[in-house]
Amino acid sequence: KMPVVLDVDTGIDDALALLYALASDRLDVRGITTCFGNGDVETTTRNTLAVVSLAERGAPVYQGAAHPLVGQWEPSAEAFHGTDGLGGYAFTPQGIAVQAQSAVQYLGEVTQELSGEIVLIATARLTNIAAALTAHPEMVRRVKRLVIMGGAAFVGGNVTPVAEANIWGDPEAAWIVFHSGMPITMVGLDVTMQVRISDAMLETLDPRRPYAAMLKGAVDFYLGAYNPGRLIGDRTAPLHDPLAVAVAEEPDLCDTIPYAVDIERYGTLTRGMTVVDRREWLPLRPNIDVAVGVDRDRFMTTFARRLGFDDRI
Ligand code: BDR
Ligand code: CA
């Protein structure tokens, strides 16, 4: 089994990513670290514990950053994830508690223990990973690969016309991580916008799954946010974070191209943009494997089966 650590800001699609990872026979989820993002860090941590309490297997949860490396956290995702991060379906988990150790300490330890093997999956701001790299620089050589849900290479952004939420929410952290030298795969909006859940699919969720009621409500909210005012026909919404987990598990799920990618930190219109250098005639050093295409059907079939949806939809 592949040992992985998930870094999340739970969040509706993070919840789906956690359930996907914790039901995998091929992934060994060693730990989960939490970051601010879709809510403040207390909220995202509580939501992470709640989702883990309903998942097929458990994993220890470590609380991480409450604010970006520079500046403060400001809510930006309430329209998509609700004020509670789970579209009104958040609940306080029973019989499961957060670990005493901080996310940064844990990342330092687990990468030492599983040096050369451990794969990190980040579906949140890169604040925890950047802080861990600063505290434990040897992590760069110990992490086998970091798979990031974040950025937008050749399509527009979502929080701004050019910036995707996980990079926009802490560009200084993203800059540290992108320039660290770690092997990184960027699963950005280029591919995540192509894998979508629909009303028809949600209807087929097996009601016997322990998370069925929570997921039905939360994903219905998420579909509403992505399709404002739409009353006729199926609504669809992207499965950003689950795709990053799937790519960690099955790297050939996405076509990737190595590119030199930088993070815009100072632009008044472009802060948080992932700037991809495509100039073939320059001897650029690629630092990121950018996902540019996805085997949509393969992902959707595995996603549906694993979480309890009908895979024919
Ligand atoms: C990303 O931003 C967050 O709100 C989602 O959970 C996802 O990780 C999409 O841009
Ligand atoms: Ca997320």
Condensed to tens digits (0 to 9), the pLDDT of residues 74-95 reads 899 999 999 999 999 999 998 9
**What count of other Cβ atoms lies within 10 Å of the Cβ of residue 141?**
11
Looking at residue 276, its pLDDT comes to 97
Looking at residue 236, its pLDDT comes to 97
- Neighbour-count burial for 291-306, b at 16+ CB within 10 Å, e otherwise: bbebbeeebbebbbeb
Looking at residue 141, its pLDDT comes to 98
Residue nearest to atom 8 of ligand 1 (CA): 123
Looking at residue 230, its pLDDT comes to 87
Looking at residue 312, its pLDDT comes to 87
Polymer length of the chain: 313
| ipTM of this predicted structure | 0.99
Sign for the CA dihedral angle at 278, 280, 285, 291 comes to positive
- Ligand 1 environment, Cβ below 6 A: 11, 13-14, 38, 77, 123, 149, 158, 164-166, 240-241
Annotate 53-107 with DSSP letters as a single string.
Answer: HHSSS---EEE--SS-SSS------HHHH-TTSSTT-----SS----SS-HHHHH
Report the run of H or E that residue 211 belongs to, with start and end: none
User: According to DSSP H, which parts of the chain are helical?
Assistant: 12-22, 41-54, 78-81, 103-113, 127-135, 139-142, 165-168, 171-178, 189-192, 199-203, 212-226, 240-249, 296-307
Nearest to 224 by CA among 199, 242, 243: 199
Looking at residue 250, its pLDDT comes to 98
Instruction: Report the amino acid identity of residue 131.
Output: A
**What count of other Cβ atoms lies within 10 Å of the Cβ of residue 207?**
8
As given in the structure block, the two tokens for residue 46 are 């509580």
Mutate to test the pocket of ligand 1, among 16, 38, 273 (most ligand atoms within 8 A of CB): 38
What is the rounded radius of gyration, in angstroms, for the C-alpha atoms of the chain? 18
Segments of the chain scoring below 50 in pLDDT = none
pLDDT tens, residue by residue, 182-231: 999 999 999 999 999 999 999 999 999 999 999 999 999 999 999 998 88
240 is catalytic: yes
Task: Please tell me the distance between residue 268's alpha carbon and the centre of ligand 2 in angstroms.
Answer: 24
